[in-house]
Amino acid sequence: MILQVLKVRLKMVNKLFTFQVILFYLLFFSSKILAQNVCNKEIGRPELKERLINLQKIRDDAERGIMENKKILMKAQEIILLARTRGDVEAGQIAEEAARKAQETINKYRKNKEQAENEIIKMKEILQLMEKK
């Protein structure tokens, strides 16, 4: 009786092991084939040009955001000076908070602009390579 149970379990283990090996090979080779298909797939020049235009829009929006927030920062600094001369602590604190937020926003826009510019450079290089081919 125990021997029969062990034989059944051994068969189940063998089937499970075989299933796992087959699954591993299927996943391993199918992932390689999919990776080759993705690598071999050519991205068209129109898609790259469209992406380049979108990146340029992102860069321009970031530049506008930087300029607008610089204006806000300057206004906040003016209010801080006026509040200090008049002794209005609450207005000074509010203006300092606005100045801090404007500076944080400027930094975010600068980061976005820099990333967009880096991608624009890469896209232009790719387009030049495509034109040479």
pLDDT for residue 90 is more than 80: yes
Contact 84, 92 (CB under 8 A): yes
DSSP letter assigned to residue 25: H
Longest Cα separation, the chain = 98
Cβ neighbors of 76 (< 8 A, separation 6 or more) are: 95, 96, 98, 99, 102
pLDDT tens, residue by residue, 102-112 = 999 999 999 98
d(CA 120, CA 126): 10
DSSP letter assigned to residue 87: T
pTM, to two decimals: 0.62
